[in-house]
C-alpha cells in the first residue's frame, strides 16, 4: 500500500470517528448546524479523496451520504432517528471498506448491500410522512406529499420568505464550506425517545426565519481545528514500543550501576544523577504512550444509543474525566470489559421508562461514565441509576446454579453476595437477550481487567443503582515485584498480589506446615491457608522437608494461598519483557525480566498458579474478617507467672530477652536502662524475686509506651498476637474496661498507667495496678 | 574459493555441537552471544535451553543438543541470535567457529537414511574437503514451529 492510501485511511478513520461522535450528539441537538457541518465535512472529504484514488465503491457510498447530509445541513430535512440510524449504518459500511482496503488493498465486493444502503439513504432524502417536513418549499423540492404543505397555508407569505435564503444559497460558495451551513432544520416534529424536552414546532419555525443573524457563527470550529493538529504528532506505536524497551534497558543498567560498589565518591554521585535522569526519561516516554480515555469513551454514545433503542429504554449517557490518560495498550485492554459493563448497566440496570416513572424516577435513565486518577491507578466507573442488584436474587441464582452451597449462601453478607456476580457462569437476566444474559458476563470483565493487573469492584443498592469500578494500573511495562528464590532460580512475584510474608526457620517447617492428605496448609491467624510449593509446581528438584523457607501469602483475584519458596531477595521495580509463545503456553509465567544484578527472572502469574492448584475464592471471607475488625483491637498475649494478660499491641515498643544482670535497682524498684533511658520496670511475672543468683539467667521484658513515657514489664512468656473483642458490661451498656475476650477467654488488660514513675520510686512501695480479672477459667 | 565460475558461493557461520560441524548462512545470523548468562525455564518444552538477555529483550533459546537428544553440554554454550516473523530467538551451540565459504555445488540434500527427526531439522550438507558441514536453516528451528513439529 502506498503512503497516500495509508494516509487516506488514517484520515478517513479519524473523520469517521468524529462523525460518530457528532451523529450521536445530533440526537440530542438535532438542529445544531455545527455538528451537521462537521459530519458533512467528514463524508465530503472521503468522497473527494476516493474519487482521486479510484475507490469507486467508497465514492458511490459517500456520495449518497453526502447528498443526504447536504439536505440536512441546508436545513431542508430534519434529522430524526431514522436518518441518524441510516447515517450510522453508512459509517459502519465505510469503516468496513476502509478495513478491507487496509488489509487486502482492495475495496472488497458487496455491491448488493451497497446499493440497498444507497437506496435507503435516497429514501431518507425524500423523507416520508413521519418526517413531517413543514417547509413547503422543501416539500415541493423533494416532491413531498402535499399534506405537509397544508398547515403552512394560512401564513401564505411563508413561501416567499423561505424561498429567498434558498436562492441565496445556490449562488454561494461550494457546499463543503462549513461557513455555509445555512439555517438549521425547521421543525423536528418527529417524536424522539431521547429528546430531553419536546420543543413546540411553531417556535422552531419562527426561529428559522430569524436565522441569518447567526450565519457567521459556524466559522468558529473550522478555525479551531488546526491548533490541535499543530500541537500533536502522529507517532508510530512500534517506535514508541522500541523507545519503551530502550528506557527499560536504561533502567536495568541504572539498577546495575546503583548496585555496583565503588570507592570513588564521584561514582556514587554520577550514579544518583543517572538514576534521576532515568526516572525522568522513563516517565516522559511512558507519557508519550498515554492517551486520553476520550479515545475509548467516544464510542460509547453510539453504543448507548443503539442499545437503548433496541431495548426500548431511555438512557442518557454522561461522561466525566475524559482527559484522564492511560497507556495505549491498557486502553485497548479495557475496551471490552468497559463495553460489557455498559451493556450490563443498560440491559440489567436501567429499567423501562414506565417502570421508572412508577417508581418516581425520571423516565430517562442515567449512565455515568467517569475516569479519574487515584495514586498509581486510573479508576473508571460505570454508574447507573437503575434497579440495582437484588441481594436475594443473586443469592438465589448462585444457589440455583450451584455456585455456592445453600448453607454458605445463607451465611454470606451483602458484600460477599455481590462478589458472586464475578463467578463464571453467573447471570441473573431473566431472559437471554441479544445484549446480555448468556452467563458470560462479569467474570469476563473481571478476568480481562485482572489480566492487566487491575481490579473490579462493585457496589449496588436495590432500587438506586449500581457502580462498577475498574481500577487500572497506569502502565504495564514496569511493575514493583518481590524477587524470590526457588532451587537456585529467581522468580518475580508482582507486589500487587502479595499481601504478606512468613518466614520459617529450619526446625519450624515440619511443625508449622500441616498436612491434610496431600494438601499442605498453614495456619494464618487461626485460618487455614492452602500452600503451593513452587519447587513442586515447577517440577524442580525438591528441597529437603526441614529446610528453612519463606511463604509469600498471595491474593490472586480473590484466591488466597501461600507460595512456599526457598528464600526472598529485595523488592525491585522490574521491566516486564514478553515471553515467546511457546513459554507463555506454560501458563505460570507472566513474562521475564532482567534484575539489577544482571540475572534474569521469570515473572510468576499468581492467578494461573492459584487456578492450577485449585485454590478457591476466599476473598469474601476475608472481607468479612475486616468488617469484624471494626470493634476489635490487637493484643499481645503474655503469660506472667501463671496468669495470662493482654497488652494493647499499639503500646508495645519492643520485646527483649535480657540477662538479669542488666536489671538494676533504684531503691526497692527494679529499673532497666533501655536506649539511653531509664525505664521503671514492673516485675509482674515475679521473675526477679524468685530469681536464682545466676546473673546470666535471662528474662523477657516487654517495653511499652504509656503516654509520653516508656515502661517495662517482665513476662514469663509471650504467647501470641491476637485480636480481642470488647466486652459489654452486663446491664450498663458500656464497654467493660480492663478486660477483653482473647481466644474465647476473658483476659485482663494490663493498666500501664499503674506502673509508678521513677520520681516516686524511692518513696512509694511497688503496688502495680495489675489486673484482677485475669481469667474466669 | 575464489573460483567464481564454479557456482554461487555463500558465507556460512560454522558451529560445533558434539562431534558434528553445522553451518548457518551468515545472512541469517543477527548476532553471536559468547557464553551468555542463561536462565532455565521450568516446565518449558524440552527443546528450550533457556532464556538469554539480548539488547533489552529476553530471548527464548533453543538447545540443539536437547533437540537432538544429546547429553547436556558440560561447559557454557554460545548463542546465535536469529529473527523470525514473531521476533527474535536464540540457538544454543557448543561453540561458534570461523566463517566458511561454501559453494552451491558442494551441497547435497539429506540422505534418505537419516533418521526422520534429523531429516526435518537439517537442510542437507556441504561437502568440505575433509568433513561434512550440516546445513541448518533458522526457520526450521523456530520454537513455535518446533513446538508443533516435535511435541513432547
Comparing CB atoms, the residue among A252, A539, A592 nearest residue B51 is A592
Cβ-contact A251, A478 below 8 angstroms: yes
Interface of A with B (CB under 8 A): 245-246, 248-249, 252, 489-490, 538-540, 577-583, 585-586, 588-589, 591-594, 598-602
Q: How much is the pLDDT for A340?
A: 85
Q: Which residue of B51, B88, B149 is the best one to mutate when testing the A interface, meaning the one whose CB has the most A CBs within 10 A?
A: B51
**Inter-chain residue contact A577 with B58, CB threshold 8 Å:** yes
Domains A479-617 and A626-760 share a fold: yes
Using left for φ > 0, alpha for ψ between -120 and 50, and beta otherwise, residue A360 falls in left
Does the CB of B148 have a partner CB in chain A at under 8 Å? no
Is A58 within 8 Å of A94 (Cβ atoms)? yes
E strand or H helix at A486, and its extent? strand A478-486
Phi, psi dihedral angles at A313 (to 5 degrees): -120, 165
The alpha carbons of chain B give a radius of gyration, in whole angstroms, of 15
| Contacts across the A-B interface (CB distance below 8 Å) | 71
β pairing state of A527-533 and A559-565: parallel
Which residues on B lie below 8 Å from A585 (Cβ)?
Answer: 147
Instruction: Using an 8 Å CB-CB cutoff, list chain B residues near A593.
Output: 58
Which of helix, strand or coil describes residue A290?
strand
Helix A81-104 to helix A3-28 angle (10° resolution) is: 160
Residues A3-225: name the CATH superfamily. HPT domain (1.20.120.160)
Q: Does B149 touch chain A (CB under 8 A)?
A: no
Contact assessment for residue A346 and residue A311, using Cβ atoms and an 8 Å cutoff: yes
Q: So what's the ipTM on this one?
A: 0.89
Place of cell 533489552: B56
CB contact under 8 A, B55 and A601: no
Give pLDDT, residue A413: 77
Looking at the complex, does the CB of residue B27 fall below 8 Å from at least one CB of chain A?
Answer: no
Q: CB-based contact (8 Å) between B144 and chain A? A: yes
pLDDT of residue A618: 53
Q: Is A29 exposed, middle or buried (0-12, 13-18, 19+ CB in 10 A)?
A: middle
Instruction: List C-alpha distances in Å: A727 to A510, A520, A741, A750.
Output: 37, 36, 7, 16
DSSP-H helix ranges across A501-580: 508-512, 534-537
Helix (H, G, I), strand (E, B) or coil at A327: strand
pLDDT score of B133: 94
Phi, psi angles (nearest 5°) of residue A199: -90, 135
Please list every residue in chain B whose beta carbon sits closer than 8 Å to the beta carbon of residue A579.
58, 60
CB within 8 Å of A749: residues ≥ 6 apart:
A635, A645, A646, A647, A648, A738, A739, A740, A771
Residue A112 grid coordinates: 448488493
CB A384 within 8 A of CB A349: yes
Inter-chain CB proximity B147 and A582 less than 8 Å: yes
CA distance to A80, A140, A267, per residue, from A145 (Å): 18, 8, 88
User: A592 and B56: CB-CB below 8 Å?
Assistant: no
CATH ID of B12-149, from 2.40.50.180, 3.40.50.300, 3.30.465.10, 3.40.50.80: 2.40.50.180
In this prediction, residue A690 carries a pLDDT of 56
Min Cα separation B42/chain A (Å): 6
Assess B101–A contact: CB distance below 8 Å, yes or no. Answer: no
Of the candidates A582, A586, A592, the beta carbon closest to that of B143 is on A582
CATH H-level, domain A626-760: superfamily: CheA-289, Domain 4 (2.40.50.180)
Best CA proximity match to A368, nearest among A436, A304, A306, A462: A304
Q: Which of A249, A594, A602 sits opposite B41 (nearest CB)?
A: A602
How many CB atoms are located within 10 Å of the residue A536 CB?
Answer: 14
What is the dihedral sign for C-alpha A552, A556, A560, A564? negative
- CB-closest option in B37, B56, B146 to A249: B56
Euclidean distance between CA atoms B144 and A581, whole angstroms: 7
| Interface-testing mutation among A582, A588, A590, with chain B (most B C-beta atoms within 10 A) | A582
Asked if B51 reaches chain A (Cβ–Cβ under 8 Å), the answer is: yes
- Select from A753, A685, A746, A673 the least CA-distant residue to A713: A685
Residue pair A393/A428 in contact (Cβ under 8 Å)? The answer is yes
- Across the interface, whether the CB atoms of B57 and A580 are under 8 A apart is answered no
Q: Which one of A534, A578, A600 would you mutate to disrupt binding with B, by most B Cβ within 10 Å of its Cβ?
A: A600
- Mapping DSSP onto H, E and C, the string for chain B reads CCCCCCCCEEEEEEEEECCEEEEEEHHHCCEEECCCCEECCCCCCCCEEEEEEECCEEEEEEEHHHHCCCCCCCCCCEEEEEEECCEEEEEEECEEEEEEEEEHHHEECCCCCCCHHHHHHEEEEEECCCCEEEEECHHHHCHHHHHHHCCC
Q: Rounded distance, CA A596 to CA A492, Å?
A: 12
Query: What residues in B contact A603, CB-CB < 8 Å?
Result: none
User: What distance in Å separates residue B123's CA from the closest CA in chain A?
Assistant: 24
Closest CA to A449 of A521, A389, A377: A377
**Gap between the Cα atoms of A672 and A665, Å rounded:** 8
pLDDT at residue B109, as a whole number:
93
Q: Flag whether residue B55 sits within 8 Å of chain A, measured between CB atoms.
A: yes
B8 contacts chain A (CB < 8 A): no
Identify all chain B residues contacting A249, using CB atoms and an 8 Å cutoff: 55-56
* Cα radius of gyration (chain A): 36
Q: How far apart are CA B11 and CA A659, in angstroms?
A: 78
Which one of B39, B42, B144 makes the best mutation probe of the A interface by having the most chain A beta carbons within 10 Å? B42
User: Which of A463, A382, A391 lies closest to A428, judged by CA?
Assistant: A391
DSSP E strands, A354-430 = 365-374, 377-384
CATH superfamily for A479-617 is CheA-289, Domain 4 (2.40.50.180)
What are the strands of the beta sheet with A315-320, ordered from one edge? A315-320, A365-374, A377-384, A465-473, A455-461
Q: What is the 3-state secondary structure (H, E, C) of A425-449?
A: CCCCCCCCCCCCCCCCCHHHHHHHH
Who's near A465: CB < 8 A, 6+ residues apart?
A349, A383, A384, A385, A386, A387, A388
Q: A interface mutation test: which of B33, B37, B39, B41 has the most A CBs within 10 A?
A: B41
B22: confidence class by pLDDT, cuts 50, 70, 90: very high
d(CA A769, CA A682) in angstroms, rounded, equals 10
Nearest-CA neighbor of B50 among A81, B58, A84? B58
- Whether residue A560 contacts residue A553, with contact meaning beta carbons closer than 8 Å, is answered with yes
Q: Which residues contact A560 (CB under 8 A, 6 or more apart)?
A: A499, A529, A553, A554, A615, A618, A619, A622
Q: Kindly give, in sequence order, each residue whose CB lies less than 8 Å from that of residue A173, ignoring residues fewer than 6 positions away.
A: A179, A180
Residue of B nearest to A585 (CA): B44
Contact state of B58 with A593 under an 8 Å Cβ cutoff: yes
Query: Is B44 an 8 Å CB contact of chain A?
Result: yes
The verdict on a CB contact (< 8 Å) between B60 and A583 is: yes
Task: Mark yes or no for CB contact A538/B53 under 8 Å.
Answer: no
Closest residue of chain A to B148, computed from CA coordinates: A582
Q: Residue B87: its chain A contacts at CB < 8 A? A: 580
| B59 interaction partners in chain A (CB closer than 8 Å) | 580
Pairwise CB contact (< 8 Å): B48 & A582:
yes
Cell 499499639 belongs to which residue? A650
The residues, any chain, with a CB within 8 Å of residue A328's CB and separated by 6 or more, are A237, A240, A289, A290, A291
Output the furthest CA–CA distance in chain B (Å, rounded): 52
- Please compute the mean of the pLDDT values over residues B66-75 and round it to a whole number: 90
Helices A33-53 and A219-231, packing angle to 10 deg: 60
Nearest to A600 among B39, B43, B147 (CB): B39
Q: Write down the pTM of the prediction.
A: 0.48
- The partner residue sitting opposite A581, judged by closest CB among B51, B58, B144, is B144
Residues listed for chain B: 152
Chain B residues in contact with A578 by the CB 8 A cut-off are 58
Residues from chain A that touch B142, judged by Cβ atoms under 8 A, are: none
Under CATH, which number does the domain A292-473 receive? 3.30.565.10
Chosen CATH of A236-289 out of 1.10.287, 1.10.760, 1.10.1740, 3.10.450: 1.10.287
Separation of alpha carbons A353 and A312, rounded Å: 8
Q: In angstroms, rounded to a whole number, what is the distance separating the alpha carbons of residues A252 and A242?
A: 15
Can you give the residue ranges of every domain in chain A?
3-225, 236-289, 292-473, 479-617, 626-760
Residue A95 phi, psi dihedral angles, 5° rounding: -60, -45
Q: Which of A246, A588, A589 sits opposite B56 (nearest CB)?
A: A246
Q: Rounded to an integer, what distance in angstroms lies between the CA atom of residue A78 and that of residue A128?
A: 11
CA dist A465 and A383 (Å) reads 7
| pLDDT profile of chain A (777 residues), mean per 10 | 76 81 79 80 77 78 83 80 84 84 77 80 69 38 40 40 40 41 40 42 38 39 42 73 78 74 68 76 76 87 88 90 85 86 86 89 91 80 87 83 80 79 66 43 78 81 86 74 92 88 84 84 86 91 84 83 91 82 87 84 89 64 40 74 79 78 77 78 71 68 81 82 64 58 73 71 45 41
Dist. CA A105–CA A55, nearest whole Å: 10
Question: B39 to chain A: nearest residue by CA?
Answer: A600
Amino acid at each position: 500500500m502506498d503512503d497516500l492510501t495509508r494516509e487516506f485511511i488514517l484520515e478517513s478513520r479519524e473523520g469517521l470517528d468524529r462523525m460518530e461522535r457528532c451523529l450521536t450528539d445530533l440526537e440530542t441537538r438535532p438542529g445544531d448546524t455545527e455538528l451537521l457541518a462537521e459530519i458533512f465535512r467528514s463524508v465530503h472529504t472521503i468522497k473527494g479523496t476516493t474519487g482521486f484514488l479510484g475507490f469507486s465503491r467508497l465514492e458511490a457510498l459517500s456520495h449518497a451520504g453526502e447528498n443526504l447530509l447536504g439536505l440536512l445541513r441546508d436545513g431542508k430535512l430534519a434529522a430524526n432517528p431514522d436518518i441518524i440510524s441510516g447515517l450510522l449504518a453508512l459509517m459502519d459500511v465505510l469503516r468496513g471498506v476502509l478495513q478491507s482496503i487496509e488489509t487486502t488493498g482492495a475495496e472488497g465486493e458487496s455491491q448488493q448491500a451497497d446499493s440497498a444502503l444507497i437506496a435507503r439513504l435516497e429514501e431518507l432524502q425524500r423523507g416520508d410522512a413521519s418526517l413531517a417536513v413543514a417547509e413547503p418549499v422543501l416539500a415541493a423540492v423533494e416532491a413531498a406529499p402535499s399534506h405537509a404543505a397544508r398547515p403552512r397555508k394560512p401564513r401564505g407569505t411563508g413561501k416567499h420568505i423561505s424561498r429567498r435564503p434558498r436562492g441565496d444559497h445556490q449562488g454561494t460558495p461550494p457546499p463543503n464550506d462549513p461557513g455555509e451551513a445555512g439555517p438549521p432544520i425547521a421543525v423536528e416534529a418527529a417524536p424522539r425517545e431521547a429528546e430531553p424536552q419536546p420543543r413546540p414546532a411553531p417556535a422552531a419555525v419562527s426561529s428559522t426565519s430569524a436565522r441569518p443573524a447567526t450565519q457567521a457563527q459556524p466559522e468558529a470550529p473550522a478555525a479551531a481545528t488546526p491548533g490541535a493538529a499543530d500541537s500533536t504528532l502522529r507517532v508510530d506505536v512500534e517506535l514508541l514500543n522500541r523507545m519503551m524497551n530502550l528506557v527499560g534497558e536504561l533502567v536495568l543498567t541504572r539498577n546495575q550501576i546503583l548496585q555496583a560498589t565503588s570507592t570513588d565518591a564521584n561514582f556514587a554521585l554520577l550514579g544518583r544523577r543517572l538514576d534521576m535522569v532515568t526516572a525522568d526519561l522513563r516517565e516522559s516516554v511512558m507519557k508519550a504512550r498515554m492517551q486520553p480515555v476520550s479515545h475509548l469513551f467516544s464510542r460509547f454514545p453510539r453504543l448507548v444509543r443503539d442499545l437503548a433503542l433496541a431495548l426500548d429504554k431511555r438512557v442518557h449517557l454522561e461522561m466525566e474525566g475524559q482527559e484522564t490518560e492511560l497507556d495505549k495498550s491498557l486502553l485497548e485492554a479495557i475496551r471490552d470489559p468497559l463495553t460489557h459493563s455498559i451493556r450490563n448497566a443498560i440491559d440489567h440496570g436501567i429499567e423501562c421508562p414506565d417502570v421508572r416513572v412508577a417508581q418516581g424516577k425520571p423516565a430517562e435513565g442515567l449512565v455515568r461514565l467517569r475516569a479519574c486518577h487515584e495514586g498509581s491507578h486510573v479508576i473508571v466507573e460505570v454508574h447507573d441509576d437503575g434497579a440495582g442488584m437484588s441481594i436475594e436474587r443473586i443469592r438465589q441464582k448462585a444457589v440455583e446454579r450451584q455456585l455456592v452451597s445453600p448453607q454458605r449462601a445463607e451465611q454470606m453478607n451483602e458484600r460477599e453476595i455481590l462478589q458472586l456476580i464475578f463467578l463464571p457462569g453467573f447471570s441473573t437476566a431473566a431472559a437471554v437477550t441479544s445484549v446480555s444474559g448468556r452467563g458470560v458476563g462479569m467474570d469476563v470483565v473481571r478476568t480481562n481487567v485482572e489480566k492487566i493487573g487491575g481490579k473490579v469492584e462493585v457496589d449496588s443498592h436495590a432500587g438506586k443503582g449500581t457502580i462498577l469500578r475498574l481500577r487500572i494500573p497506569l502502565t504495564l511495562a514496569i511493575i514493583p515485584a518481590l524477587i524470590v528464590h526457588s532451587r537456585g532460580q529467581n522468580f518475580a512475584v508482582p507486589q500487587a498480589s502479595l499481601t504478606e510474608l512468613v518466614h520459617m526457620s529450619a526446625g519450624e517447617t515440619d511443625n508449622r506446615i500441616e498436612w491434610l492428605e496431600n494438601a499442605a496448609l498453614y495456619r494464618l491467624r487461626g485460618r487455614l491457608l492452602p500452600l503451593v510449593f513452587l519447587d513442586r509446581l515447577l517440577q524442580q528438584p525438591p528441597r529437603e522437608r526441614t529446610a528453612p523457607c519463606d511463604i509469600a501469602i498471595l491474593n490472586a483475584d480473590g484466591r488466597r494461598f501461600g507460595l512456599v519458596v526457598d528464600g526472598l531477595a529485595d523488592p525491585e521495580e522490574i521491566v516486564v519483557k514478553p515471553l515467546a509463545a511457546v513459554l507463555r503456553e506454560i501458563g505460570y509465567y507472566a513474562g521475564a525480566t532482567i534484575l539489577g544484578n544482571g540475572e534474569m527472572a521469570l515473572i510468576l502469574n499468581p492467578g494461573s498458579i492459584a487456578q492450577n492448584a485449585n485454590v478457591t475464592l476466599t476473598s469474601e471471607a476475608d472481607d468479612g474478617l475486616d468488617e469484624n475488625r471494626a470493634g476489635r483491637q490487637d493484643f499481645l498475649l503474655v503469660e506472667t507467672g501463671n496468669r495470662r494478660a493482654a497488652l494493647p499491641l499499639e503500646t508495645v515498643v519492643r520485646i527483649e530477652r535480657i540477662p538479669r544482670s542488666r536489671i538494676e535497682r533504684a531503691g526497692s524498684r527494679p529499673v532497666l536502662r533501655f536506649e539511653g533511658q531509664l525505664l521503671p520496670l514492673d516485675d509482674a511475672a515475679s521473675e526477679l524475686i524468685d530469681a536464682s543468683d545466676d546473673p546470666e539467667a535471662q528474662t523477657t521484658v516487654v517495653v511499652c509506651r504509656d503516654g509520653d513515657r516508656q515502661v517495662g514489664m517482665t513476662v514469663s512468656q509471650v504467647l501470641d498476637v491476637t485480636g480481642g473483642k470488647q466486652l459489654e458490661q452486663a446491664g450498663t451498656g458500656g464497654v467493660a474496661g480492663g478486660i477483653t475476650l482473647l481466644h474465647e477467654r476473658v483476659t485482663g488488660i494490663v493498666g500501664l498507667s499503674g506502673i509508678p514513675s521513677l520520681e516516686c520510686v524511692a518513696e512509694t512501695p511497688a503496688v502495680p495496678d495489675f489486673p484482677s480479672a485475669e481469667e474466669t477459667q | 574459493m575464489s573460483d567464481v565460475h564454479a557456482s554461487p558461493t555463500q558465507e556460512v557461520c560454522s558451529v560445533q555441537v558434539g562431534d558434528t560441524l553445522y553451518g548457518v548462512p551468515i545472512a541469517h545470523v543477527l548476532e553471536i552471544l559468547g557464553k551468555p548468562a542463561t536462565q532455565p525455564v521450568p516446565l518449558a518444552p524440552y527443546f528450550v535451553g533457556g532464556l538469554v538477555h539480548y539488547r533489552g529483550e529476553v530471548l527464548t533459546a533453543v538447545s540443539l543438543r536437547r533437540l537432538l537428544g544429546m547429553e547436556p553440554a558440560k561447559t557454557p554454550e554460545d548463542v546465535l541470535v536469529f529473527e523470525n516473523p514473531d521476533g527474535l530467538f536464540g540457538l544454543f551451540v557448543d561453540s561458534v567457529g570461523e566463517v566458511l565459504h561454501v559453494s552451491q555445488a558442494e551441497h547435497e540434500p539429506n540422505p534418505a537414511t537419516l533418521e526422520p527427526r534429523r531429516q526435518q531439522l537439517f537442510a542437507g550438507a556441504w561437502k568440505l574437503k575433509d568433513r561434512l558441514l550440516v546445513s541448518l536453516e533458522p526457520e526450521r528451528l523456530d520454537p513455535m514451529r518446533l513446538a508443533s513439529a516435535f511435541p513432547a
